[in-house]
Structures are given as C-alpha cells and as structure tokens.
Amino acid sequence: MTVLCDIRNLSVTYHGDVDVKAVQDVNLTIRRGEIFGLAGESGCGKSTIVLALTRLLDRDGEISGGEILFDGQDLARLSDAGMRPLRWSKISLVTQSAMSSLNPVLTIGEQICDGMVAHGVTAREAWSRAGELLRLVEVDPGRLRSYPHELSGGMRQRVMIAMALALRPQLIVMDEPTTALDVVVQQQIIRKVKELQREFDFAVLFITHDMSLLLAIADRIAIMYAGEIVEVGVAAEIRDAPRHPYTKGLLQSFPSVFEKRELIGIPGSPPSMVSPPTGCRFAPRCPVRLDECASVAPPTVDVSPTHRAACHLLGEGGQGCV
C-alpha cells in the first residue's frame, strides 16, 4: 500500500494570552485505502491534528512547523485558494455530532448537493447523485427533501457519511463520528463505514477516545498523549503487545466482552499544555517510570517494522512495558 498522506514533524500552536502548543512534532503516515485510528484522551490534540490536516484551524490556531504531504502537495503551505479545490474532492470530513454538523435551515439534499456544485457538478447531476448516495448508506432517497431535525441521530450521521462520499475523496477524516450515538447505532455505522471503505477504497483517519471501537475498525492505530504520538502500530500489535505504559493503561480502562478482567484506570490527569512536563510527558502518571523519565524526552524506538513507541523502557534492548 502506498502512502497517501505523510505528516512530518507537525506542530500546531494556538495563540492567545499564552501560546499553547497543542501538537508537538507529530509524525504519521496514512496509506491509501486503510483505516487509520488515532486515539487519546480528550484534549490530547487529536482533533487539532484533524483541523490542521483539513486546514480548518481557527484564526488563533497556526501550523507552527512540519509538513502535511498529501498526494504530493504540502497542505501546510497551501493558500486558502489553493486548498479549496482539494477540499471535499480529496479530503472530506465527518464530524463528531451529527446534531450540529448539518445546517438546520437547509434540506439534506441541498447540503449534499452544494458541496458537489461547488466543485463543478451541475445541480441536476448533483441531485441525482445525492439520491444514490443516500441509498448507499441505506437512507430513503425521499429524505433528500427532509430537514435535519426530521431525522434521527443515526440517520443524520449516515447522511453525513453519504455527504462525505459525494466526490469520492481519497481520505475521509472521521472525528469521533459515533460518540453521540448509542451502541447499537454505533455498530451499524461502523459496519457501514467498513463496507463502503471496501467498496470505494478510500482511506479513513478515524479519531476517537474509544479504544474498543478503534480495535474493531482500524487497520493501524496511533496513540496520542499530551500533543505527542507515543505509540504507532498495526491494530493487532497495539491490542496484543502494547509497549507504551499509556497504551497499556488505555487498554485496561475499558471492559472486554470476551474476557473477564479487572478495569484499571490511569490515575491522575493529563498535564497542562501551557507548560508540559520536560522529559516524558506521561512520566508524572506513569506506574513504571525511571529516573531519567522526568528529565529526558524518550526516543522513538522501532519495536517491529510496523510498530514504534516512545518510552525509555524500550531503550538499549529493553522490552518496554509488557
């Protein structure tokens, strides 16, 4: 599988009374046609990565370093005008709450169509395609004339997914697409996404704080903590052999249907991003920290060709936190 999006040393800073570096030197690659999961606690910077990648940062947010190479272009350096043709046609977005991501005063049809029309599809063509898209996500095409408030939460999220597919993008960014839905609907949506992804072969960047969900859907997973990526690997490696103590903590903090085990949370809370700890940012909460963790930032170590983690325990042939 070839690389579709290569994020190199990405840093994002929010300017304010104090500047906050919400994302620090992040390296990620998303390959064509894969579902790439990004997990972490609230406030760890995963949504900021989404905003940087889709170039939707607010005025006070700035890509302060690094590159986002997408299909040969550096999105971090593109002007707004240069970015516009790529929007929706190459990268589309499904946001967290389908409640608020649809404009309440426009019909579903109008909202699916305007994105297509903005990219040169004729209105008539867009409308007929919108009907097909709804059929793809198993929503009655008659719903094109409905307003968002007339649909259930699950239907709205299906509509969002249909909308995101409209121009056959290469990458669909899904920022906690199922958080606001109940578990049954969540499962249906996830199954639908996988099915569509197999059919149309787009890549998905799937953001969530729900590890069990991510293990079910993602091909590869990155774990983020306090603005940094602490571990990346194939889903099975992350599930069966997590190397970073934080990943391990995350995996132990949700119940499993298959085995009976004790739920262990991670004590403490994430550090303030205004003044993150020197050394390893997880050190203050880490159950297995070493002396050097507080002062020296851990290097990123390749555990296998597809698996790397940033922890001092992995240094000099160590086994990490197994």
Q: Beta-carbon neighbour count of residue 234 at 10 Å?
A: 16
Spatial contact of 177 and 160, defined as CB atoms under 8 Å apart: yes
Kindly give the pairing relationship between strand 35-39 and strand 220-225: parallel
Residue 97 sits in the site that holds another protein (CB under 8 A): yes
- Compare residues 75 and 280 and give the one whose CB is closer to another protein: 75
Residue 85 sits in the site that holds another protein (CB under 8 A): yes
Residue 5 sits in the site that holds another protein (CB under 8 A): no
Piece in contact with another protein (CB under 8 A), picked from 5-13, 79-87, 215-223, 259-267: 79-87
- Compare residues 167 and 301 and give the one whose CB is closer to another protein: 167
Piece in contact with another protein (CB under 8 A), picked from 8-16, 97-105, 215-223, 246-254: 97-105
Taking the complex as a whole, how short is the minimal distance between the CB of residue 159 and another protein, in angstroms? 11
Piece in contact with another protein (CB under 8 A), picked from 111-119, 182-190, 273-281, 288-296: 111-119
- Compare residues 16 and 287 and give the one whose CB is closer to another protein: 16
Taking the complex as a whole, how short is the minimal distance between the CB of residue 47 and another protein, in angstroms? 11
Taking the complex as a whole, how short is the minimal distance between the CB of residue 281 and another protein, in angstroms? 28
**Residue with structure tokens 């793809």?**
136
Residues 149-178 that bind another protein (CB under 8 A): 149, 160
Residue 95 sits in the site that holds another protein (CB under 8 A): yes
3-state secondary structure the chain: CCEEEEEEEEEEEECCCCCEEEEEEEEEEEECCCEEEEECCCCCCHHHHHHHHCCCCCCCEEEEEEEEEECCEEHHHCCHHHHCCCECCCEEEECCCCCCCCCCCCCHHHHHHHHHHHCCCCHHHHHHHHHHHHHHCCCCHHHHHCCHHHCCHHHHHHHHHHHHHCCCCCEEEEECCCCCCCHHHHHHHHHHHHHHHHHHCCEEEEEECCHHHHHHHCCEEEEEECCEEEEEEEHHHHHHCCCCHHHHHHHCCCCCCCCCCCCCCCCCCCCCCCCCCCCCCCHHHCCCCCHHHHCCCCCEEEEECCEEEECHHHCCCCCCCC
Taking the complex as a whole, how short is the minimal distance between the CB of residue 167 and another protein, in angstroms? 9
Piece in contact with another protein (CB under 8 A), picked from 53-61, 183-191, 209-217, 224-232: 53-61
Piece in contact with another protein (CB under 8 A), picked from 54-62, 216-224, 243-251, 259-267: 54-62
Spatial contact of 197 and 204, defined as CB atoms under 8 Å apart: yes
Measured between alpha carbons, how far is residue 127 from residues 101, 107, 271 in Å?
A: 20, 12, 49
Residue 93 sits in the site that holds another protein (CB under 8 A): yes
AA identity, residue 93: L
Piece in contact with another protein (CB under 8 A), picked from 95-103, 133-141, 241-249, 274-282: 95-103
- Compare residues 59 and 198 and give the one whose CB is closer to another protein: 59
Torsion-angle region of 226 (φ positive above 0: left; ψ -120 to 50: alpha; else: beta): left
Residue 59 sits in the site that holds another protein (CB under 8 A): yes
Residue 104 sits in the site that holds another protein (CB under 8 A): yes
Determine which residue in the list 118, 121, 234, 296 makes contact with another protein, applying CB under 8 A: 118
Residue 88 sits in the site that holds another protein (CB under 8 A): yes
Determine which residue in the list 24, 48, 64, 89 makes contact with another protein, applying CB under 8 A: 89
Residue 73 sits in the site that holds another protein (CB under 8 A): no
Summarize as ranges the residues that interact with another protein (CB under 8 A): 54, 56, 59, 83-89, 91-93, 95-97, 100-106, 114-115, 118-119, 147, 149, 160
